[in-house]
């Protein structure tokens, strides 16, 4: 017969066998959950740029956002949050409230249609958040920590933008206008990976035809879905 010490060892071994694998599985499932926030620019009373006589930017960005959401639904473990999923007016502040409520490791992408710079301007542009003026007190540990977080977010945003650039080339070959750092309101003071994508120029005849094509919109959604999966 086993003594009491041996019984305790057997019992503890049994507990380890039963509970450790389940806890590992829970941890792994938690790690696999990825958050993506999709922002369909404009909406409601804010129509954005004029794409055609009857179509405004707000309708194109909403259509693309919904297509991207469907594409991402094919990937297990991705949780999608839309800033707007219908025809409604939303301020920048309302959008930022949604973004800031998301986990720090989330991805944020805001979809827009470009215009201007003459009728010959064409192609897509990708913007990422930059830095504001650096604080003077570099000895403050909180300031140093904040700078480290901003550096990581900036590097991750650039890496995400590069993934988008690679995959958008399949939709708009040789039409990339580069990665740009710009003070865009929707990107201000975000503490996560974030980019703004201008998918093409409504003022350019060829771009406008592509933007209005259901086939091209689907291809853009697939390119963005692949970019998101590439980043993760």
- Confidence category of residue 140, pLDDT binned at 50, 70, 90: low
State pLDDT tens for residues 71-103. 999 999 999 999 999 999 999 999 999 999 999
Instruction: Render 31-73 in DSSP notation, one character per residue.
Output: HH-EEEEEEE--BTTB--SB-SSS-BHHHHHHHHHHHHHHHHT
What average pLDDT does range 125-150 have in this prediction?
63
How far is it, in rounded angstroms, from Cα 223 to Cα 121? 22
- Confidence category of residue 183, pLDDT binned at 50, 70, 90: confident
pLDDT of 25: 40
Going 191 to 123 to 204 to 37, the CA torsion angle's sign is: negative
Predicted confidence (pLDDT) at residue 18 exceeds the cutoff of 90? no
How far is it, in rounded angstroms, from Cα 76 to Cα 33? 8
How far is it, in rounded angstroms, from Cα 94 to Cα 157? 22
Q: Check residues 17 and 224 and name the one with the higher pLDDT.
A: 224
Give the number of other Cβ atoms within 10 Å of residue 157's Cβ. Answer: 25
How far is it, in rounded angstroms, from Cα 165 to Cα 174? 10
- Confidence category of residue 129, pLDDT binned at 50, 70, 90: confident
Burial of 210 (0-12, 13-18, 19+ CB in 10 A): buried
State pLDDT tens for residues 20-38. 443 344 344 445 689 999 9
pLDDT of 113: 98
Domains of the chain: 34-231 (3.40.630.40)
What average pLDDT does range 122-148 have in this prediction?
66
How far is it, in rounded angstroms, from Cα 147 to Cα 154? 10
Predicted confidence (pLDDT) at residue 11 exceeds the cutoff of 70? no
């Amino acid at each position: 017969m086993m003594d009491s010490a041996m019984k305790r060892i057997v019992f503890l071994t049994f507990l380890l066998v039963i509970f450790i694998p389940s806890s590992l599985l829970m941890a792994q499932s938690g790690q696999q959950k990825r958050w993506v926030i999709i922002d369909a620019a404009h909406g409601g009373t804010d129509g954005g740029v004029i794409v055609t006589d009857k179509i405004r930017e707000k309708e194109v960005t909403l259509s693309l956002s919904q297509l991207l959401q469907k594409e991402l639904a094919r990937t297990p473990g991705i949780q999608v949050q839309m800033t707007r999923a219908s025809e409604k007016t939303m301020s920048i502040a309302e959008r930022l409230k949604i973004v800031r409520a998301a986990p720090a490791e989330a991805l944020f992408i805001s979809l827009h249609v470009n215009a201007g710079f003459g009728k010959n301007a064409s192609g897509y542009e990708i913007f990422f958040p930059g830095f504001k003026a650096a604080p003077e007190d570099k000895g403050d540990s909180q300031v140093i920590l904040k700078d480290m977080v901003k550096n990581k977010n900036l590097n991750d945003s650039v890496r995400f933008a590069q993934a988008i650039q690679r995959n958008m080339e399949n939709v708009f070959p040789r039409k990339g206008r580069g990665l740009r750092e710009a003070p865009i309101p929707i990107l201000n003071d975000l503490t996560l990976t974030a980019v703004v994508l201008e998918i093409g120029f409504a003022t350019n005849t060829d771009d406008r035809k592509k933007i209005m094509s259901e086939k091209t919109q689907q291809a853009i959604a697939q390119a963005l879905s692949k970019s998101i999966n590439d980043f993760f």
